[in-house]
Amino acid sequence: MIQGTASGVGKSLMVAGLCRLLARSGVSVVPFKPQNMSNASAACPSGGEIGRAQALQALACGLEPTVDMNPVLLKPEGDRKAQLVVSGQVRGTLLADRFRKDRERLLPEVLAAFQRLGQQHDFVLVEGAGSSAEPNLRDGDIANMGFAQAANVPVWLMGDIDRGGVFASLLGTMDALDEPDRQLVEALIVNRFRGDASLLEDACEWLEERTQRPLLGCVPYIFDLALPEEDTLYAFREGRGTRESEDRSDDLRVGGIHYPCASNTADLDPFAADLRVDFCWSADPDALTGLDLVVLPGSKAVAADLSWLRNRGWVEALERHVRYGGRVLGVCGGLQMLGECILDPLGIEGPPETQGLGWLSVKTELKPEKLVRSVSGSARWPVDLNFSGYEIRHGESPADPMLYPFVARSFDGLVMGTYMHGLFDQAAYRHAVLEEWLGWKEASGEDLQDRWQRDLNRLADVVRESLDLSLLEQRVGQLT
């Protein structure tokens, strides 16, 4: 089990890299995360939804994602509540004041999913959540040491040197653990080091002496790694290769708006990964000036996020953007915001009725049953091309069949909406939309999944070269 000193230290990618390394070496390996808290989710072909990181890890293993890989998914709807998804299906709302008590009851289902994966595969790689040492969360824990104790799983503890204080955080985490939990920690890892690792030798020896645990190595910071992460938005953009020409006047300029409950923001990954696209998450409304395309991503609380847009001047900036010929794309919750109204009679996400921006002639009603499905088929707009994606939503809106897989388009053609996540991952379809809608004549580029496969191999190579994996090889045999 890979656990961390904090959220965002790289646990998800470390598990993905180890999954790819083991799979390449002929090991039947499967990823597992007992409890995930994220609005970045993926639909499983067999039904249900799981955290997007586990879907990536399944890809690293050469497997289709299944709900057993992430049996408990918490999707925040604000500071004090989250939608509870168990075995891929919505099971109500988890409230902050009942968090510890209610999640503890889920441990038998978590262990059952873990055992099923263990029966089907030779090796299970487990990812923890957040920090290993949270005294306020230890009672009833099913995500970190609580699960590790129940399943008797050895732990590798990882810290992120890029954020600073990694040796103190690793030592402090070990000191904060109760003795039974501390005994499960088998080894330590330092992640995201920039520079000459030999400069850390004294500190590494000090850490090993103080913790009485081996330090397996220091994994370098990997630039230009275009793999989706749940906690960090597009860290891979730092250090990307540059174009032969520094003249970026022909670049497509794309911006996204990251409201408080934004979800499935990886829909913008294809733009962020393309060197020919000048992509940014817009920090304030003035940043929309000069963009060709603005994307409103999904939302786990559409009414609240729409209110956030209105109260902070984003709506006026979007109106100005459209007035000067800019395009706006709404995906899932973003589509609902662009419509006429959002009806929520059961209070699934917000008030009974919320007025939308009215730029698309659609009305949305939230249904009690969440629709979760993988989709593939032939597009009707802009050309007859195959595409694939997935849908995760309570909302239902009437769609123009001639625009499929889009739902609606404004009268002037500047605003469009779709419920389809992952729609732009396929290069050919992405190119067709951008050429027809924005007049962008560049070549089609690369399928995002091809990039993921290449980068998973890069990640596995770096992990293999950076870490002493003899403890792992004692369990699975020689790694290649």
The set of catalytic residues is 332, 421
For residue 254, give the nearest of 457, 57, 434 by alpha carbon: 434
Pairing of β 415-418 and β 327-331: parallel
Starting at the edge strand found earlier in the chain, the sheet holding 277-281 runs 277-281, 252-256, 293-296, 327-331, 415-418, 406-409
DSSP string for 247-287: --TTSEEEEE---TTEE-GGGGHHHHH-TTEEEEE-SSGGG
CB 294, CB 324: distance < 8 Å: no
Rounded Cα gap, residues 182 and 185, in angstroms = 5
Residue with tokens 């924005």: 438
Rounded Cα gap, residues 125 and 123, in angstroms = 7
CA triple 368-267-360, angle to 5 deg:
60
Rounded Cα gap, residues 17 and 11, in angstroms = 10
For residue 324, give the nearest of 296, 288, 360 by alpha carbon: 288
* CA-based torsion, 68, 69, 75, 81: positive or negative: positive
Q: Quick check: bond before 76 cis, omega within 30? A: no
Pairing of β 341-343 and β 353-355: antiparallel
Helices (H) and strands (E) in the chain, counts: 15, 24
